[in-house]
Structure 1
Amino acid sequence: MDGGRGLHADQPLKVVAIGGGTGLAALLRALKPEAGRTRDPWRLTGIVTVSDDGGSSGRLRDELGGIPPGDLRNCLSALTREESVLSDLLNYRFSGEGSLAGHSLGNLMLHAMADLTGDWVRAIRALSNVLVTVGRLYPSTVVPVVLKAEDMEGRRYTGETNVNSCTPPLARFWAEPLDAEPLPEAILAILQADLILLAPGSLYTSTIASLLVTELREAVFRTGHPVIYVANLMTEPGESSGLDLEAHLAAIQSHAHLAVSAVIANTAPLPPNLMRRYRQEGGTPLVADGKTICGVPVFAYALLDPEAEMVRHHPILLNRALRDVIASL
């Protein structure tokens, strides 16, 4: 596979990235230069988990119904071609103590646009046109889904917030309703893709959650094209606490029923101040102990943003790693 032009010299590389929260946004930001260039741009599609039930998204979901818009907003912002006043407005969050306190303006805009158009796909497309984004964005489903889980001790968890604080590993993990339908546009993008990327982020509630939609997961399986997992930099207190990189991959393969083709992992050490802070919170670095995990090749690179105040992937370093891995598959 050519890292610039796809499977055929006269066709663009078609990439679908799946995930939620900040992880998918970080991955889309790293891919944005490839989708936005004038010559041989990649055809980039993001498919976003919509199970959030906390914060501004959760409040809007409870009060107005429909799917939570927060992760969609994050990803729209990541795909904006250039920073502008409009993109700043998208991420503006109200302060104070009134009914708007804590709400993101972008969340309200997405809900308003979905109400005006009667269609979440049209709402996202309309805002994308205003913001001038690269790539396409779809929710994994427009059915309000509830995540459910059971740990090894038989404890049950209902809702994304509760699953996020579970005791891993999980024995069972599913979404209700069980027959939630994905968007036809998302399925078509997957079936036409040359490559599927699983974004970093919360292991169960972001990376795996979208793949609980049965038809969407089956579409990924039917493509037969490479599936690359971009691993987290750290474990997350709660749902991935104590899980190493092998356990992350095993959870994806077990609950999403997918064969992963490759894993991209970080080798850069954390600065001492960040290491102390994350260890106090219960997080530990995810590192690759070898060149393969569970028979899956691991590609290790320095991916950490050295200037960020939190542990984050550096978009340029992640971009280079992705291009290198894609070229080698």
Structure 2
Amino acid sequence: MHTAAVVGTGLIGTSIALALTGRGVTTHLIDRDPHSVRIAAARGAGTPGPPSAPVDIAVICVPPSDVARTIADHQKAELARVYTDVASVKALPHAECLALGCDTAALVGGHPLAGRERSGPLSARADLFQDRHWVLTPTAETSEATLNRALELVSLCGAVPVLLDPSDHDRAVALVSHLPHLMASLTAARLLEGEGHAVRLAGRGVRDVTRIAAGDSGLWTDILAANAPALSALLTQLTADLQRTAAALDRLTEEGPEQQDDALADLTDVLRRGAEGRARIATTHGGRGAGSHAVLSVSLGDQDRRLERLLDDVSEARVDLEDLLLPETTAPPRGAVELLVAPDVARPLTDALRDRGWAVR
């Protein structure tokens, strides 16, 4: 790959452009918002404006509802030889591309599973996709050359490719991304009705549960609407669990001892299933079960008091360390230290420390 075009210079698009430019790919930046393009270009993400000849690949970084029309327009203008997108829904945009008569042999859907709470080109990072999953959804029409070019894109961005059918992808992200975001938003919305003293008591637990509710509501409306069938099925199951839980709590308030025992059993079952589901994530990410650790190696350099500042930054990130391994040198510690953390907080802590200027592996 020698040339690329990124259409949409938000967080994801600019991060892709930074990664490609850093690997020597001549990258062109296209966006309806000229201010966004200027910021992305100023950050070294590429050259503003379309290329003079078709590029090797065009990466379409727009909301799901805009994907098909954007691809159709740029295929008509011969922007690239191969096209992919980064929308978090895949089946509907592909169907819309077919309806618009797009060249689907030169198209493969994509979805990098990475992001940040902050949006826009100023928040972009070249290493945003490092070691993260990047789903590609080839169909029967996708040519081998198109898929190989998309795989090269994933590799240049440092991500791990996963091949899925579009519908399988949409059901998966409905479970692990879209439903959690909706639940975080519904929980956070309750805070609007809370009394002032209650909100002031909010600690790490409620902050963790509601963190992703801070996302762009307009973009998330687009995402949830595009994946409505898969998300609706999950909400039906969740509604049954909520009704069962509410009924159990009502019985604990109103019924006699025997009925209360049944209610406690129902409540315990809901919580037990939650713990078992949570353990599946820890096992998948950690590789050795829920009690495993992730190890982050952080370079201290040769400056005194760097360890003190590092621990302050970890504290600011609201992450609990499982352990700290110091180099076998005299105090003050120099070189690299190893931070042992729970697998699910390794990526957020890495992002937070890199934001503060630390070199983290």
For the criterion TM > 0.5, the same-fold answer is no
Tell me the TM-score range normalised by the shorter chain: under 0.3
For CA contacts below 8 A with separation 6 or more, give which structure has more relative contact order. 1
Write 1 or 2 for the structure with the bigger share of helix. Answer: 2
TM-score norm. by structure 1 comes to 0.26
TM-score norm. by structure 2 comes to 0.25
